[in-house]
Amino acid sequence: MSIQIPKIDFQKNLNDIICRITEDDEPDIDDLQESSEESISTSLESENKEDFDPYDQFKLISLIGFVILLGIYIINVLYILYKYDYNIIEKNCHYNYSWYYISLYIFVLNFIHYILIKGYFIIEFNKNKIYIYLLTIHTHGLYLIAGYYTIDKCIVNNFYYTDYYNLLIYHYYSHYIIIFFSFCAIYYLRFRVTDNLS
């Protein structure tokens, strides 16, 4: 038993459809090409207009500026850590782990920030974004405790007027600032923002 597939003349059917639409006897090929080119150019122009929204441009410029500042920050911290090698810190202050504290801050904690920011933009409901801020508070709380024990009298006496000490203090007090703003964001999300569930 064989199945016979009818032959369909697609070109003839297309011409018939075009003739009915345009109410002409025979469509002109040049008109078809011009109209298709016009539709393609207008669709491309409309896509380009949508692509260059001022808000998207602002986000792109902000992202580029943030990446540049982050790069400058990391290069500066790595330069200071290179300048004040762990052996220099160990020679002046035995069993002090402040060098590791800064290293873990710029690599591990900044990676945790990256993950939390990605999670923040994935979460749909504002009430659930509170958990991101709670994780931020906990991670900075742990680093705050570590920073408290690494900045001891030996570090203050031997490195007080150096870039290394300034970097330690900057990182130590940044925990307080981030924890404060996280609590403010939790308060705002908990009591001021409502999700539109409709």
The predicted pLDDT at position 49 comes to: 54
More confident residue, 144 or 123: 144
Mean pLDDT score of the chain: 79
pLDDT in tens, 51-99: 567 777 887 888 898 889 988 988 998 999 899 888 888 888 888 888 8
* Helix 163-187 vs helix 130-150: crossing angle, to nearest 10: 150
Q: Which tokens hold the place of 179?
A: 């924890």
pLDDT in tens, 84-93: 888 888 888 8
- Cβ atoms of residues 98 and 165 within 8 Å: no
Q: Is the pLDDT of residue 47 over 80?
A: no
Report the amino acid identity of residue 108.
Answer: V
CA 169 to chain centre: 27
Task: Report the pLDDT averaged over residues 160-180.
Answer: 91
The pTM of the full predicted model, rounded to 2 decimals, is: 0.64
Residue 109 to residue 111: CA distance in whole angstroms: 5
Task: Report the pLDDT averaged over residues 131-141.
Answer: 91
Residue 179 to residue 176: CA distance in whole angstroms: 5
More confident residue, 5 or 126: 126
- Cβ atoms of residues 118 and 188 within 8 Å: no
- List the alpha helices (DSSP H) in 52-162: 54-83, 86-92, 98-104, 110-122, 130-150, 153-159
